[in-house]
Structure 1
């Protein structure tokens, strides 16, 4: 369950980092990342399992190098992420490339780099087979048509999703594989994020395992991720221990019937980094209108888009005045649009200049940040072994303009 408050030592450390590096700033704690990774590995202890970190959640190369040191592989969704993964020290065999709606040229680049390729539509699979035949093995992403996940924008396994080859297209899938002699060495699914119900996850897994008997050359089955992390005080996350027990039993029975042991693969992203992240902002203004008291901070959805994009709840702490009298605030940003982090949120009294801390700030925040309103991206700081390290400096105006080409234009 998520915590209402941080330990006083953590609060003091974060306040110090806010002053040292300035605000806004993202802070990530490797102790929390390692705790989450360890919890997963223990839940599946004794099984032939591999965890690939989904780097789209938080793609700083230092974060990638840290997960590599723990023994994780890498899940990538763009050729650029593949390159960053290789630059971060991952071997090609430890990288799975799972794009969607890309053309064959991006797939070819991945093949040439030697990474594992995961194809999610029949058109590209047919082109792939025509080019490579049986010479390059491939993983296939299946859409099991299981409605899972929280917000509709993060559910990816339902019938209207753009992701994966429909389970109902399996007959034509088999025709293509047989005609071109394609070696299918992996099957994959990912039904969405924030999956709390273990049994819903297992239903999708069973569909994938039933299909697996049609492919005799499998080496692994990848069940994606989507494990739910708690965001609100008292909220529960996915019981990965229960999932480990049930999935282990299911997969062991499958391997027995399949005739040999395969690898069980997952690709957690948010699960590993969400709770490890803190986002620190400074209160610019406390503004009272006829209906609302606003706490306006020096950030916006250019840095922290999840509340606006997914209606996501992020718990907020007043680090500067944790014991203040509680009042009700609507916390907003400095973007010239409605960028509301929290409506009617009870907080210890907020004063101009106070530093607020958003929890669960590790996943899908810096990686989705932008320069909207010509605002600059903040710095990223990593806490590791009791020390703080700047792993991405704050942008400058020169950074913002670095790609602009004036050329011979005259006006």
Structure 2
């Protein structure tokens, strides 16, 4: 057959009439594991990481994987063994990093709502840095650190008011977003941080959004951050590291984000021109490392023709793949074993009782009940955002490494979905 274009995913391709990931037929994975099931390519993750590493050659950079994109322990283990640190936003994520073998000193704790208990736990473990997102958080973290007789290493997340030109739900660097300290008040906030005895100012952080497909927003944000670094240091507060966050997009549907190494070539050119090229840098990529490494395999349950729409009903749903319902996001959908002949225009939908439970609209597919579909680019913000809505157990996950298939999460049983709930005695 003539293989359709599979953008950004060199480790997923048709071999004959079988869609394969690395050296494994995805039809075999579906048959062995049942559906829905997520499959991830180890080679794809390491290839994406290598692009960043090429871009950072000769520079002082710590890559901290933004684990909210995909927090499976085996995925974290891959990045920990490759030398990555981690960007976390909760005590639960902190526990996952430790369980996967991550080093506390390479952990950055981000997020707008850290609790005192989370701060205490992170301080006791000796994490690398807190990305502080408000003046109120600064004061509370100082109190917690003093109560423990420690100094909390901090950077302030500065909101540069730069438009990342992405979906509004994943834009984080505009004045109307909940994240970060306003650029205009950042110097004053740094001066306050420097006065607090429980804090040690170590850096500055900026993250403007996710699924960014142009270099311009990064360059604009970098200019604003470097202007601020100059002002802060002129006020006598040294900045030891500069954290430029993450947010680099992937190719879902003809998107054209710059390659990580090419993007950083442009960014370092600006840094060098302004005299900051040899500073210590931190970055927090997530989606760009794992997004195109994953697929969700799902069985066609029914084909349902209608007066206005034809529907392909599959056994994966919005609880498994929430991005289309949340962001109107596009995922390419391919048959694992294509049939000959013309296809039919259908909406691919799940069994959840919501009209918003759709995976793909207006797709031309030649499939029948019992066939298996692969929803591509499902490595990021799918399983990590999945739920038990409609009392649906979460999907199984496998990691493919060459010709080996490793089960990295068992399928959740119905009984497991209500563990911890209790009937009331009459």
- Kindly report which structure 2 residues correspond to 1:14-53, keeping only aligned pairs within 5 A, or say none: 14-53=26-65
Determine the structure 1 residue equivalent to 2:425: 410
Determine the structure 1 residue equivalent to 2:250: 229
The runs of 5 or more residues in structure 2 that have no matched partner are 1-6
Give the paired residue count: 404
Question: Cα 1:256–1:280, aligned 2, differ >3 Å: closer, same or farther?
Answer: closer
Contact 2:158 2:180 in 1 (8 A): yes
**Moved >4 Å (runs of 4+):** 253-257
CA distance in 2 between partners of 1:302 and 1:256 (Å): 45
1:252 matched to 2:260? The reply is no
- Kindly report which structure 2 residues correspond to 1:166-245, keeping only aligned pairs within 5 A, or say none: 166-181=182-197, 182-213=199-230, 214-215=232-233, 216-232=237-253, 234-245=254-265
Select which of 100, 112, 117 maps to 2:130.
117
Select which of 2, 8, 11 maps to 2:15.
8
1:142 matched to 2:158? The reply is yes
Contact 1:28 1:381 in 2 (8 A): yes
Determine the structure 2 residue equivalent to 1:128: 141
Contact 1:196 1:239 in 2 (8 A): no
Mean Cα displacement is larger for which, 113-122 or 126-135? 126-135
CA distance in 2 between partners of 1:112 and 1:207 (Å): 34
Determine the structure 2 residue equivalent to 1:153: 169
Determine the structure 2 residue equivalent to 1:165: 181
How far did 1:322 drift? 4.8
CA distance in 2 between partners of 1:380 and 1:158 (Å): 36
1:375 matched to 2:396? The reply is no
CA distance in 2 between partners of 1:195 and 1:372 (Å): 30
Select which of 54, 76, 79 maps to 2:91.
79
Determine the structure 2 residue equivalent to 1:294: 311
Note the alpha carbon deviations across 1:362-399, whole angstroms, 9 max, x for none: 00000100100001111000001320010000011221
Structure 2 counterpart SS, 1:160:
coil
Contact 1:149 1:193 in 2 (8 A): no
How far did 1:210 drift? 1.6
How far did 1:104 drift? 3.1
How far did 1:29 drift? 0.4
How far did 1:238 drift? 2.6
Note the alpha carbon deviations across 1:142-188, whole angstroms, 9 max, x for none: 11111114111000001111111111112430341243254210111
How far did 1:271 drift? 0.2
Give the superposed CA RMSD. 2.0
Give the alignment's TM-score, normalised by structure 2: 0.90
